[in-house]
Chains A and B, each alone.
Chain A
Amino acid sequence: MKVEYNDDSLPKGAELHVNGLGTLVNGKAVEFDEDALATFEAETGKTIADAFKSNAKVTLSGPGSQSSSKKEGGE
């Protein structure tokens, strides 16, 4: 899954750390493998999609990028 972080208030390239996941880079998409996603879910009890669903600065793409609440909604 790719996690893209875009925050106009921070310089491009600024690094942001997410506990249990790793480092995001402002203005870039960072790819995380299945192991990283599984580790995050085990540590936080949330999928990446659920963890960032209310954060407009984060865009997810690739497998697993849809939050569980959206899946339950029958999309």
Chain B
Amino acid sequence: MPAGLSGAGWMGFAFETTKGTFVDADTFIPILSESFKYTEDRYFSPQIRQQVMTSDVVQGYYHIEGDIEIEADVNYLPYLLFCSRHTPSFSSGVYSFVPSTAGSTSTAATGMVQRTASLTIVRNGIGFGYSGCTLGSLGFFVDGGVLKFRATMFGEKDNVVAAPPTPTWLDPSLFGASGHSVYVDASSTTPAFAAVAVRDFNGFEFTANHNPSAENRLVNDRAATYIAFHETEINVTTELDFVDKTEYDNFVATTQKAFKLESLKGGATFALATEAVRVTIYRGVYETYDLSLSGLADLIMAGVTIRGIGIAGGDAYKIEVKSPVTIT
């Protein structure tokens, strides 16, 4: 087979009925890039036998690990978010995902619960199958005016895909530059958020990192037994125009605020929009607020990291997706 281009490849997704058991793809997600790889702790024998190099090798434990990046599209986001460490719910066309304390990937197959996925990736016509996949960390960010989504995924097993299915593709549905707004309010489980968006955020990158690890047990199998989750770390990074000392003082004082990113299509508000993504951090605090005179012609901006922390009586953050797809 001659060399191939990435553009001819594709990625397919399927929910699993049994965690870790591969399912042929039935939903085809347009990606910008992927980097899935078989990740093994291969054993090289360090026997001392009159040589100064390892003298044997055997296969070790392995798991699957890699990033995917997509343009945020509500036709696909719910599928991926169902496979993350969140508690999902659905009401009036909106999927909501709030943080969960699950210690590992779910074994559930249906319902409003965390699930696992099988991913099929075809590279140069060759199929690769990864099962037991979950999102270890995820993020939304605005790049070139377009909302994008990035996930670091962990999977349990590498599978043979002898005959990859034929993809079926929906039309793209992207959130462009006119769709994004950021709102800030005092920290609360029910922040009011003013109707008018703030105007000083130069970018918005939200990350929820659940610090996953592949866990291998003595079960007569080299593949990961399950994927564990550890501390959930929430961050927003951005730049803020520096026009007065208010936010610097808030940084020093560890003042807590609520932050919201909305990306909308088909309507001016989340309620009116036909498609929407909303990320709300209910209790965030500046972790860094870096100011400098960086160069003769540079705007003075603060490099900011906002850390989300737990809030009593509520969820630390929520991801909402208004989507036409139905997941049961």
Within 8 A of A (CB), among B196-240: none
Within 8 A of A (CB), among B162-187: 163, 165-171
Task: Name the contact of A8 in the complex, choosing from B27, B171, B324, B326 (C-beta under 8 A).
Answer: B326
A57 / chain B contacts, CB cutoff of 8 Å? 26
Within 8 A of B (CB), among A10-55: 10-11, 14-19, 24, 44, 46, 50-52, 54-55
B327 within 8 A of A: yes
- Report whether B166 and A16 are in contact in the complex, using a CB–CB cutoff of 8 Å: no
- Report whether B166 and A10 are in contact in the complex, using a CB–CB cutoff of 8 Å: no
Chain B residues bordering chain A, tally (CB within 8 A): 17
B324 / chain A contacts, CB cutoff of 8 Å? 10-11, 14
The distance in angstroms between the C-alpha atoms of A5 and B170, with both chains bound, is 13
- Report whether B166 and A18 are in contact in the complex, using a CB–CB cutoff of 8 Å: yes
A10 / chain B contacts, CB cutoff of 8 Å? 75, 170, 324-326
Interface of chain A, main secondary structure: loop
- Report whether A16 and B169 are in contact in the complex, using a CB–CB cutoff of 8 Å: yes
B170 / chain A contacts, CB cutoff of 8 Å? 10, 14-17
B276 to chain A, nearest CB (A): 16
A50 / chain B contacts, CB cutoff of 8 Å? 163
B53 to chain A, nearest CB (A): 46
B287 / chain A contacts, CB cutoff of 8 Å? none
State the A residues within 8 Å of B (CB).
Answer: 5, 8-11, 14-19, 24, 44, 46, 50-52, 54-57
- Report whether B168 and A24 are in contact in the complex, using a CB–CB cutoff of 8 Å: yes
A46 / chain B contacts, CB cutoff of 8 Å? 166
- Report whether A16 and B168 are in contact in the complex, using a CB–CB cutoff of 8 Å: yes
The distance in angstroms between the C-alpha atoms of A57 and B28, with both chains bound, is 13
Mask for B304-328, Cβ within 8 A of A = 1, else 0? 0000000000000000000011111
A13 to chain B, nearest CB (A): 11
Known: A10-B324, A56-B26, A57-B26. A51 touches B168 (CB 8 A): no
- Report whether A51 and B26 are in contact in the complex, using a CB–CB cutoff of 8 Å: no
- Report whether B326 and A19 are in contact in the complex, using a CB–CB cutoff of 8 Å: no
- Report whether A18 and B326 are in contact in the complex, using a CB–CB cutoff of 8 Å: no
B167 / chain A contacts, CB cutoff of 8 Å? 18-19
A19 to chain B, nearest CB (A): 7
B24 / chain A contacts, CB cutoff of 8 Å? 54-55
- Report whether B166 and A52 are in contact in the complex, using a CB–CB cutoff of 8 Å: yes
Q: 14 interchain pairs (CB within 8 A)?
A: A8-B326, A9-B325, A16-B169, A17-B171, A18-B168, A18-B169, A19-B169, A24-B168, A46-B166, A50-B163, A52-B165, A54-B24, A55-B26, A55-B168
In the A-B complex, the 6 residue pairs with the smallest Cβ-Cβ separation, listed nearest first, are A16-B168, A51-B166, A17-B169, A54-B24, A9-B326, A54-B165
The distance in angstroms between the C-alpha atoms of A69 and B26, with both chains bound, is 21
Task: Name the contact of B165 in the complex, choosing from A9, A14, A16, A55 (C-beta under 8 A).
Answer: A55
| Apart from A10-B75, A16-B170: 19 A-B pairs, beta carbons within 8 A | A5-B168, A9-B27, A17-B170, A17-B171, A18-B167, A18-B169, A19-B167, A24-B168, A46-B166, A50-B163, A52-B165, A52-B166, A55-B24, A55-B26, A55-B165, A55-B166, A55-B168, A56-B26, A57-B26
The distance in angstroms between the C-alpha atoms of A36 and B20, with both chains bound, is 38
The distance in angstroms between the C-alpha atoms of A52 and B164, with both chains bound, is 10
